[in-house]
Amino acid sequence: MKSLFGRVLQGVRPALSPLILLAAAGLILCGSCFAAPPTLAGLPTIQLGVSASSSPQEVSQGLQILILLTILTLAPAMLILTTAFTRIVIVMSLVRQAMGIPNLPPNQVILGLSLILTFFVMAPTFNTINEKALQPYIAGTIAQQAALDNAVEPLRLFMFKQTHEKDIALFTKLAKLPKPKTTKNVPTYVLLPAFIISELKTAFQLGFMVFLPFLVIDLVISSVLVSMGMMFLPPASIALPFKIILFVLADGWQLISQALVLGFN
């Protein structure tokens, strides 16, 4: 039995020799894989840290960068709250609510149209900011603080035109400031909330005017259904086609866009 096993082992040994060599090579390669990786020369590294400044100018530059990053983060909110976007998007949303189709047009279409109309309304203001603040600052003819002042002034002028005086008086009183004699005496932090409240008030006033014709259609359809004895038929489903055809025949989107744009002039 032992001699038979020895003969079999001698016959298999030549075939096992290459396999043993391959296994040994694999173990060597795996050992090299688990070893410390070689360092790659020429690749950049990023290091973040806090170190002591050698001059006040370095501290000032660091604070300016921090403030700039904060402003970029809040840029969408600033675009919404300091421009015509708030009024436009609220009125557009109320239009589809009045028609009885709260999901059409989709939110992306409403937001896109509101944003485009906002840029259309704000184009003169943005052009003034570009001419008086951005381009001179890029050319190096004015300092940074002067550029900021020149950029804020056209935006303040736009907000003053759309803000109600009683809203400015309210926040002036809440801030415990004396009654301003001119618009230049109104701080920006007082003007901003007054402008937002005025925009919300104006938007809902326009939304009420939009709701009226659709409300009349609902009342007429409900009266007709009741007079015909069809009280179990939902009036909203019957009135919806009439609302849509009335809105299309009256060219409603054009009228609403025209009213919104002219409301800022």
**176-208 pLDDT, tens digit each:** 888 888 878 888 888 888 999 999 999 999 888
In degrees rounded to 5, what are phi and psi of residue 43? -90, 135
The pLDDT value given to residue 46: 52
The pLDDT value given to residue 213: 86
- For the chain, the C-alpha Rg in angstroms (whole number) is 36
- pTM of the complete model beyond 0.85: no
The pLDDT value given to residue 44: 56
CA distance to 2, 18, 239, 256, per residue, from 11 (Å): 14, 14, 94, 95
Reading the chain (265 residues) residue by residue, the pLDDT tens digits are 444 434 433 444 444 444 444 444 444 444 444 444 554 445 555 554 555 555 555 556 667 777 777 767 777 777 788 888 889 999 988 888 888 887 888 888 888 888 899 899 888 888 888 888 888 878 878 887 888 888 888 888 888 888 888 888 888 888 888 888 887 888 888 888 899 999 999 999 988 888 888 888 888 888 877 777 776 777 777 778 888 888 888 888 888 888 888 888 7
The pLDDT value given to residue 198: 92
For the chain, domain boundaries: 73-210+251-263
Closest CA to 222 of 211, 210, 214, 230: 230
The pLDDT value given to residue 17: 46
Check: CB of residue 156 under 8 Å from CB of residue 82. Answer: no
Check: CB of residue 133 under 8 Å from CB of residue 151. Answer: yes
The pLDDT value given to residue 56: 56
Q: What's the CA gap between 264 and 260, in Å, rounded? A: 7
Closest CA to 122 of 72, 87, 96: 87
Closest CA to 192 of 67, 70, 69, 77: 77
